[in-house]
Amino acid sequence: MGIDEYGGGQGPQSDVLVVTTNDVPGYRVQQVIGEVFGLTVRSRHLGSQIGAGLKSMIGGELKGLTKTLVQTRNQAMERLVEQARARGGNGVLMFRFDVTEAADVGTEVCAYGTAVVLVKA
């Protein structure tokens, strides 16, 4: 798997800055919009499940599941950014992911944070 298959995050041209911190150096928060989140639930592919079961017996990375989780996280983050933008924000502070099992049929990924309007200080 190449770096693009297991990496994530924003590209350099995004109009909504997403950070895990409380503030952004060089900017001040002009307005707090509130909580935003992006949510997605993915079911597991039968082939991945069988491969993961076999791989778990001998050890090593479950590359198929890793790739699926990366895609799922990226989709949740894209939805978070869309929601922040739709509500008038240009930043998301305190960005986090929450990952849980969804009724034994898939994985729920929620990207969340606080949408804000940032201005240069």
Compute the distance between CA of residue 50 and CA of residue 52 in angstroms, rounded to an integer: 5
Q: Measured between alpha carbons, how far is residue 100 from residues 4, 16, 91, 97 in Å?
A: 24, 26, 26, 10
What pLDDT, on the 0 to 100 scale, is given for residue 53? 56
CA 105 to chain centre: 20
* Per-residue model confidence as pLDDT tens for the chain (121 residues): 566 666 777 777 789 999 999 999 999 999 999 999 999 988 865 555 555 555 566 667 777 777 888 888 899 999 999 999 999 999 999 999 998 887 777 788 999 999 999 999 9
